[in-house]
Amino acid sequence: GENVEQHPSTLSVQEGDSAVIKCTYSDSASNYFPWYKQELGKRPQLIIDIRSNVGEKKDQRIAVTLNKTAKHFSLHITETQPEDSAVYFCAASRRGGADGLTFGKGTHLIIQP
């Protein structure tokens, strides 16, 4: 089955700086890669996703890049703000909502004031 590795497990950045979280996956048939943000005691929230037919997607301060050949994808957050502090999870699946997601172990992002 699919295996998703996520790094780093903890990331501390100064407010206003950029943050990058990286994930690798094992199943070459995976073609949908969402990112979720989970604040303490809350539900995972979908913040951005990418499908295998594109290499990059942006939404304001957030971007995701995908390299299918190398089987890795990354989340980029620019101009970080205190409200970006949370645990971020990457995930992968073959058929999006018609399939179970395989998650990474998460990255605890800490924004230092």
Partner 1 sequence: ETGVTQSPTHLIKTRGQQVTLRCSSQSGHNTVSWYQQALGQGPQFIFQYYREEENGRGNFPPRFSGLQFPNYSSELNVNALELDDSALYLCASSLAYEQFFGPGTRLTVL
Q: What does the angle CA 40 – CA 94 – CA 38 come to, to the nearest 5 degrees?
A: 5
Q: Nearest distance from residue 14's CB to partner 1, in Å? A: 25
Taking CB under 8 A as the binding criterion, the range among 14-22, 46-54, 62-70, 71-79 that sits at the site for partner 1 is: 46-54
- Of 24, 30, 85, 102, the one binding partner 1 by CB under 8 A: 102
The contact pattern for partner 1, residues 12-41, with x = CB under 8 A and - = no contact, is: --------------------x-x-x-----
- Of 46, 54, 56, 82, the one binding partner 1 by CB under 8 A: 46
- Of 17, 61, 105, 112, the one binding partner 1 by CB under 8 A: 105
Q: Exposed e or buried b for every residue in 39-55, given b needs 16+ CB within 10 A?
A: eeeeebeebbebeeeee
Q: Is 53 a residue that touches partner 1 (CB under 8 A)?
A: no
Residues 6+ apart with CB under 8 A from 60: none
What span, in angstroms and rounded, lies between the C-alpha atoms of 75 and 60? 13
- Of 43, 60, 69, 113, the one binding partner 1 by CB under 8 A: 43
Q: Is 66 a residue that touches partner 1 (CB under 8 A)?
A: no
Residue whose pair of structure tokens reads 């100064």 in the numeric block: 14
- Residue 81 or 95 having the CB closest to partner 1: 95
Distances in whole angstroms, Cα of residue 65 to Cα of each of 25, 62, 73, 85, 97 = 14, 10, 5, 21, 20
Q: Quick check: helix, strand or coil at residue 83? A: helix
